Structure 1
């Protein structure tokens, strides 16, 4: 079993595509369309590869959850990369900056960005293939 997609409601589809195209240059718009969602018109698209994607819906209203607060909601989601430096470079060139870095860890490097809709996205590069090392939380050390 694996995660296939995350469905995000956003206010600016183009800004989201700019961010995620920089993060995932090999992804593409798999399909898109229009319709109604809970009585409101929406444009939607699936941006990803053949195995996983982000479902983006453009009918968002209001602000995303305060990432520095303690409100219930999505804290962040994460992607594994083979080169965190490449991800940072691509996102920086697209105009996005690292919002925070993970704690120093001998088995991983990680950084966080906030996408245009206010979702925090973590990118992780593992430096070990040993599961016990990769899965060791820096909070438990």
Structure 2
């Protein structure tokens, strides 16, 4: 079993898409359209590859949860990369800054970004194939 997609409600699909296109240059717009969600019109777009994608839905209201607070809700989601420096370079060139560095660890490198919709995304590069090392605290 694996995660197939995330469904994110955003206020601005093009702004969100710019972030994820920089992070995932090999992904493409799979499909898009419009519809209604519980009486409210919305546009949607699926961005990904043949196996995984992110669904963006516009007409979001309000702001995302306070990430430094303790409210119930999504804290962050993470993606594994085999080249974290390339991810940082692409996002920097697209105008996005690292929100916070990851913890120092001899078996992985990680960083966090806040996307245009206010979601926190972690990118991690593992430096070991041994699970106990990858998941260690040192």
Q: Shorter-normalised TM-score: what interval? A: over 0.9
Unaligned runs of 5+ in 1: none
Equivalent position SS for 1:88: helix
Using the TM superposition, give the Cα deviation of residue 132 of structure 1 relative to its aligned residue in structure 2, in angstroms: 1.1
* Partner in structure 2 of residue 38 of structure 1: 38
* Partner in structure 1 of residue 102 of structure 2: 102
* Partner in structure 2 of residue 84 of structure 1: 84
* Partner in structure 2 of residue 53 of structure 1: 53
Q: Per-residue displacement from partner, 1:28-75 (whole Å, max 9, x unpaired)? A: 000111000011000001000001000000110000001111111000
| TM-score, L = length of structure 2 | 0.98
How many Å separate the matches in 2 of 1:134 and 1:12?
35
Using the TM superposition, give the Cα deviation of residue 131 of structure 1 relative to its aligned residue in structure 2, in angstroms: 1.1
Unaligned runs of 5+ in 2: none
* Partner in structure 2 of residue 75 of structure 1: 75
Using the TM superposition, give the Cα deviation of residue 135 of structure 1 relative to its aligned residue in structure 2, in angstroms: 1.9
* Partner in structure 2 of residue 120 of structure 1: 120
Equivalent position SS for 2:65: coil
Give the aligned CA root-mean-square deviation in angstroms. Answer: 0.7
Q: Per-residue displacement from partner, 1:87-133 (whole Å, max 9, x unpaired)? A: 00000000000000111000000000000000000000000011111
